[in-house]
Amino acid sequence: MKKLLLTSAIVLAAGAANAAVAPYASIKAGYTNSDINFYYDDDKFESEGLANFSGFTGAIAGGAAWDANSLITVRGELEYAYTNTSVNSWMDDLDEWKDVLTHNTIMLNAFADFGEKSWSVRPYVGLGAGFGFGNTFKIIRDGETWKKEDMGSGFAYAGMIGAAWHATDHLAIDLGFQYKVIDMGEAGAKVYSWGQDSSDVVSRTVTLGARYTF
């Protein structure tokens, strides 16, 4: 799966070499739901207490688009995204506890936009591959950090689907969904000390953004 994503991104990016390209910049923000999964010898641990984190994601990207034919436009971009999510873990008579999960990614994304350029709304699909870093897990007790763990860094990959409304020749409003996985490896597994040897973070994000083509 990882090799397929990397190969697809490289092939699509290479297609721009002999085509006229239109550079663009984009910004997105949205709602994210995340889980931390733990594994031991490739078997998944059930981690009810580290599921259903919710919060926000913000992302910026720069890239280029070119017309593969009259019905498909191919885009390639470099994207940075920051995600901050939390879940209320429990509350007792004295304290309120909250788990907080944050992560950053730098991704090389490739998209295919479908439909004639005269269409005001064009659907798209995309794949991404990159690197997750600065990933932290914190336990907040009554508003103060009680525990903080560095979850390390690792390979990240994603799939995207959505549609863009082309408000003008240069501005498009984008509504999309992204499914992203960050492989934390051994560093992320230390959040729990039950013998797990690897972990990953899975996020599902709905975004609304704007893309400006120069």
Give the whole-number percent of the chain exceeding pLDDT 90: 58
| Secondary structure (3-state) at 108 | strand
Given this model, what pLDDT does residue 146 score?
Answer: 76
pLDDT above 50 (res 16): no
What is the mean predicted confidence (pLDDT) over 40-45? 66
State how many domains the chain has: 1
pLDDT above 70 (res 4): no
The whole model's pTM is what?
0.84
Given this model, what pLDDT does residue 49 score?
Answer: 47
What is the mean predicted confidence (pLDDT) over 45-64? 84
What is the mean predicted confidence (pLDDT) over 105-124? 97
- What are the C-alpha distances in Å from 7 to residues 11, 46, 91, 105, 129? 6, 32, 47, 19, 10
Given this model, what pLDDT does residue 1 score?
Answer: 63
| Secondary structure (3-state) at 119 | coil
pLDDT tens for each residue of 171-201 = 999 999 999 999 987 655 666 655 566 788 9
What is the mean predicted confidence (pLDDT) over 26-46? 83
What is the mean predicted confidence (pLDDT) over 151-162? 93
**CATH code: domain of residue 65:** 2.40.160.20
Whole-angstrom distance, CA of residue 14 vs CA of residue 21: 12
The total of other beta-carbon atoms located within 10 Å of residue 86's CB is: 16
Q: What is the mean pLDDT of the chain?
A: 85
* Residues with Cβ within 8 Å of residue 203, at least 6 apart in sequence: 32, 33, 34, 35, 57, 83, 85, 103, 178, 179, 180, 181, 182
> Which residue range(s) make up the domain with 201?
2-213
